[in-house]
Structure 1
């Protein structure tokens, strides 16, 4: 049987542009929905979707009763929503599973509902991440468009991966990171045939998202002075973050494997989110995907004691939600864990060596933990720069820490998982 000829370049370019625009619109809509529900649930900036007041500020200003009520609503939405999705909708297909298929499409309606549930629950206070939703929507749209146009299976797989990376780029305004996520994590190749559409779709999606979400950096950071003490800490501490990320990944997989598949989903979600809501009475920083604590950490707004407490509570909250059956990403949650762990270890380092601002440790630790937990070292380095727009010199401690954490992760996988680790380790959802 003759192989189908490749699609012409003009048509491929048209599909690439279409995927970028679609992912940008999808990311914008999901981002605006997130802000609307956050403002409504916690009663801040009601008449303005994009305001100077952050989610953490709004949550902190709300009453303890309102926090608990919002998390109870979150538990109901999560339990009923994902139970109904499992019971009545077509089975979900992850982006990674779709990319292994000859027909890399995902069910559009089920995917959109699942993405909406993720956004709604994160907006109400779920500790999971919001980045999975725009990735899934972008990939689903790319699969649908590729099928309608009639691309070959290989071309369709590239477009689906580009749609996922473009969705990530749109919602976080990180076009280079979105490109690298597509190539390093999803496709495992930097070939020109994949790199060009990956870059184009990510840039187009980010540009489209500027219209609704603006062109601001996700985090504001002070100007740091690079020091020998910070460099030494980054070189030595990297493996610790790799070991911690491996342990967290094992706990995450165990939690996901025990998700209830029947009516027990509702009481499980209600209990998990109720406990988080009760904890939020005393620690409002616990609510949401972790962006608030990260921003505090990047600006020296977190004490060592609070960082240690949030580190433990954040891990427990994430695992509880995953075990209960809630959906969401782990990008921002992973960064928050890394930032809090870095503040704790950095404060210990400051007792013996020349002091460094804790915020400087937080940026390095966030990148190191993210690189190992999601198995994307190159993407994590660029993501840390794009999200914060720190000075170029700050790449050096980030790279040293990421290299150490990634090396430690590979050692753990080879020793404890007893598998061969290829040069490009793909992220598994």
Structure 2
């Protein structure tokens, strides 16, 4: 009987770690999202009386004067360049989420990770074209690692908790519990077991629910197309490889930009120039500001013209490259979705007449899923994300799967 006591005790410790990971990741994601909204409203002067308001970021930025947009982005460039330069010079060496998962004996430095996360949220809120999803993932992984070590879990379980914490952070900030769990398994652990799957589902579901207490139970995008047309299945099968090729070059561009960053005097200068260019372009194209959520919604609503979609697509890729080259940090999830959705809408306006019954929103949806699947090498997560982002009808599952699979396989062939 006594031989079972340590096992039962450890079982309790493990479940305590799982629950605390979900709760802390949810609180962290919620607070970061609220901070993002507060800064957005303050900088661009909209929805001053409510953190969660019906007015979108794109609407707020568009209503702001061109001069205000330019100055806001100039300030963002100064904060990004100086902030990350000083952090690299005086902070402890940062440990990425993937490094923390692969080497659980090397904990993520608390202050450095917190500052790194806050810099991402602040600059994205001020208009950086990069994504906000890395910050809550880092915070979730940091909390999870700390909890697991304090509860004296094994090395394998510390690794699992860190991965679950990062996935739960993603689930919290976007209200995507299923996608957060799949992300944990597909991208971070790169393996599947029922034990890991249950842990990932518990933490992501709990984190997403905790976050809704402050952010509300809303999905990210309005998608009103009721059912997928039969022609969309054929389009998805044909276009998947095209999105894979586009994602391959996009990933090359962004990786090269990041590889050229030097943590010296160049960082503040290059960052300021990059954000100044973004600010100047935003005077004519306010859609370029922010992580890309605005342009995605425009494509899903069918509210872009051929010229506007082409201009935003090309300029969006340019400004993403520019700020990465300048040393700014952030995710590429929503930016990747935006590039894929814009490319999909552009192709609809050129070729949509050959696929009767389909609309721009459907082409944008499959384009976003295919592009994200390849650019971030996570086909299953990409499909789950689009399902939870849009609450689409299940009839879109086949087109999305075909697009994601075709893009992913094409990317792997080119990258092999």
- After TM superposition, the score normalised by the length of structure 1 is 0.94
What residue in structure 1 maps to residue 12 of structure 2?
A: 10
Query: Residue by residue, what CA displacement relative to the aligned partner does 1:339-369 show, whole Å, maximum 9, x if unpaired?
Result: 0000111222224442521111001111110
Instruction: Say which SS state the counterpart of residue 283 (structure 2) adopts.
Output: helix
What residue in structure 1 maps to residue 3 of structure 2?
A: none
Instruction: Say which SS state the counterpart of residue 54 (structure 2) adopts.
Output: coil
Cα contact 2:240–2:405 (8 A) shared by 1: yes
Per the TM alignment, residue 147 of structure 1 is displaced from its structure 2 partner at its CA by 1.2
Q: Supply the distance in 2 between the matched residues of 1:363 and 1:83 (Cα, whole angstroms).
A: 37
Cα contact 1:165–1:178 (8 A) shared by 2: yes
What residue in structure 2 maps to residue 241 of structure 1?
A: 243
Per the TM alignment, residue 190 of structure 1 is displaced from its structure 2 partner at its CA by 1.5
Task: Please say if 1:225 is aligned against 2:227.
Answer: yes
Task: Please say if 1:280 is aligned against 2:282.
Answer: yes
Instruction: Say which SS state the counterpart of residue 217 (structure 1) adopts.
Output: coil
Q: Supply the distance in 2 between the matched residues of 1:78 and 1:247 (Cα, whole angstroms).
A: 26
Cα contact 2:228–2:362 (8 A) shared by 1: no
Q: Supply the distance in 2 between the matched residues of 1:6 and 1:108 (Cα, whole angstroms).
A: 31
Cα contact 2:352–2:358 (8 A) shared by 1: yes
Cα contact 2:374–2:411 (8 A) shared by 1: yes
What residue in structure 2 maps to residue 425 of structure 1?
A: none
Instruction: Say which SS state the counterpart of residue 368 (structure 1) adopts.
Output: helix
- Output the aligned Cα RMSD: 1.3
Residue 40 (structure 2) aligned to one of 38, 41, 63: 38
Q: Supply the distance in 2 between the matched residues of 1:378 and 1:368 (Cα, whole angstroms).
A: 11
Per the TM alignment, residue 371 of structure 1 is displaced from its structure 2 partner at its CA by 0.5
Residue 57 (structure 1) aligned to one of 53, 56, 59: 59
What residue in structure 1 maps to residue 377 of structure 2?
A: 375
What residue in structure 1 maps to residue 315 of structure 2?
A: 313
What residue in structure 1 maps to residue 332 of structure 2?
A: 330
What residue in structure 2 maps to residue 109 of structure 1?
A: 111
Gaps (5+ residues) in structure 1? 415-429
What residue in structure 2 maps to residue 141 of structure 1?
A: 143
Residue 210 (structure 2) aligned to one of 201, 208, 211: 208
Instruction: Say which SS state the counterpart of residue 195 (structure 1) adopts.
Output: helix
Q: Supply the distance in 1 between the matched residues of 2:8 and 2:235 (Cα, whole angstroms).
A: 51
Instruction: Say which SS state the counterpart of residue 285 (structure 1) adopts.
Output: helix
Per the TM alignment, residue 104 of structure 1 is displaced from its structure 2 partner at its CA by 4.6
What residue in structure 2 maps to residue 125 of structure 1?
A: 127
What residue in structure 2 maps to residue 70 of structure 1?
A: 72
Per the TM alignment, residue 223 of structure 1 is displaced from its structure 2 partner at its CA by 2.7
Per the TM alignment, residue 225 of structure 1 is displaced from its structure 2 partner at its CA by 3.2
Per the TM alignment, residue 22 of structure 1 is displaced from its structure 2 partner at its CA by 0.4
Over 3 Å off, 4+ runs: 4-7
Per the TM alignment, residue 261 of structure 1 is displaced from its structure 2 partner at its CA by 1.1
